[in-house]
Homo-oligomer: A and B are copies of this chain.
């Protein structure tokens, strides 16, 4: 195991009706003027936004609002938010929504206290050394942003999707009420489940030896998704299954199961180009990407893929030919994702074979800032990435 720091100071208020405590939570963590940041119609339609407003009002906390965050959140709205926070002397950002809203809130939080262009953080030109405090009311179990130090933003110019991370971006508090996710359609719920599973595989695919405890924790969380995922896709009102998924989603990404080991993040890198170009759901893109990446990378460490096949997917170990077991595990993952309604190839995703070279180039080189290879598990060049995209046809 490698040396590491782990710091997850977020206060989690989990359970029914906890959004009504927003006012006291903001007060507890020092907020006196709030920006409520949200997406589109659902938080208005369900009355959630009204409940959050009422809670702030009850605590006598003034607030302003900025809605309109879209999936794959854009830099344009971040600039708008930064300007608003500066002008209105906002000292706390409350994100009400899913990963996109939270990621956008984190970008605004860092950008408001930075003299330069916030995009510097996402291009790796500057490190985040301070940020406004952020609280969240989560409505989608997926991104894990409610407990993570990460944020992913898409820059409209060139549709570049890039991430930044800092402990300063970890939310001060996150309200996790599983009931808030019950309005989410089955398809988007399944996208979230896929994203959670991807966060776990990205950590599982490591070159670090002797990481049994984190291996076991990752396996545990995937096993829970296999049990709970289909329940909630077939019955979106299943509060208990949603509660299990919600906690798993946080645990999958606050990195307690990823410490002290190298990680991969190839699937996320390859998928990011798909959702940036086609604006497909991140989880749907990952469902198509993961089996292709794993099939391509399997040879790098067959026993690792065999281990997860046996321990998680219930495959029998083929001691004469572990490759068969490894492959069976990848196929079991693929079948599971299809069973919860995820797309299986480029066509179902709305992606175009003709774009493959361009996708692979942007993936490896970005706007010129990329190194030419991606992946922590085994370095992949543009031609490798092209081959992986072809496996998705």
Q: Does the CB pair B6–A217 fall under 8 Å? A: no
CB 8 Å contact bits of A191-223 with B (1 = contact, 0 = none): 000000000000000000111111111011101
Chain copies in complex = 2
A215 and B248 CA atoms in complex are apart in Å by 11
Q: Does the CB pair A220–B210 fall under 8 Å? A: no
CB 8 Å contact bits of A210-239 with B (1 = contact, 0 = none): 111111110111011001100000000000
A296 at the interface (CB under 8 A from B): no
A4 and B11 CA atoms in complex are apart in Å by 11
A12 at the interface (CB under 8 A from B): yes
Q: Which 5 A-B pairs have the closest CB atoms?
A: A3-B15, A210-B240, A220-B220, A9-B9, A216-B220
Minimum CB–CB distance for A30 against chain B, Å: 15
Q: Does the CB pair B9–A5 fall under 8 Å? A: no
Q: Does the CB pair A213–B217 fall under 8 Å? A: no
A3 and B7 CA atoms in complex are apart in Å by 24
Q: Please pick, from B1, B7, B10, B248, the residue contacting A12 in the complex, using a CB distance under 8 A.
A: B7
Instruction: Identify which of A5, A18, A215, A260 gathers the most chain B CB atoms within 10 Å of its CB.
Output: A5
Minimum CB–CB distance for A136 against chain B, Å: 14
Q: Does the CB pair A241–B15 fall under 8 Å? A: no
Q: Does the CB pair B220–A247 fall under 8 Å? A: no
A281 at the interface (CB under 8 A from B): no
Q: Does the CB pair A247–B259 fall under 8 Å? A: yes
A2 at the interface (CB under 8 A from B): yes
**Chain B residues near A5 (CB-CB < 8 A):** 11-14
A138 at the interface (CB under 8 A from B): no
A27 at the interface (CB under 8 A from B): no
Q: Does the CB pair A217–B221 fall under 8 Å? A: yes
Q: Does the CB pair B14–A259 fall under 8 Å? A: yes
Instruction: Identify which of A211, A212, A221, A224 gathers the most chain B CB atoms within 10 Å of its CB.
Output: A212
Instruction: Identify which of A10, A221, A243 gathers the most chain B CB atoms within 10 Å of its CB.
Output: A243
Closest B residue by C-beta to A248: B213
Q: Does the CB pair A244–B14 fall under 8 Å? A: no
A364 at the interface (CB under 8 A from B): no
Minimum CB–CB distance for A212 against chain B, Å: 5
Q: Does the CB pair A213–B240 fall under 8 Å? A: no
A16 at the interface (CB under 8 A from B): yes
A262 at the interface (CB under 8 A from B): no
A373 at the interface (CB under 8 A from B): no
Minimum CB–CB distance for A344 against chain B, Å: 27
A251 at the interface (CB under 8 A from B): yes
A383 at the interface (CB under 8 A from B): no
**Chain B residues near A12 (CB-CB < 8 A):** 4-7
Q: Does the CB pair B3–A213 fall under 8 Å? A: no
CB 8 Å contact bits of A1-43 with B (1 = contact, 0 = none): 1111111111111111010000000000000000000000000
Q: Does the CB pair B260–A247 fall under 8 Å? A: yes
Minimum CB–CB distance for A141 against chain B, Å: 11
A182 at the interface (CB under 8 A from B): no
Minimum CB–CB distance for A358 against chain B, Å: 40
**Chain B residues near A245 (CB-CB < 8 A):** 213
A381 at the interface (CB under 8 A from B): no
A256 at the interface (CB under 8 A from B): yes
Instruction: Identify which of A9, A178, A256 gathers the most chain B CB atoms within 10 Å of its CB.
Output: A256
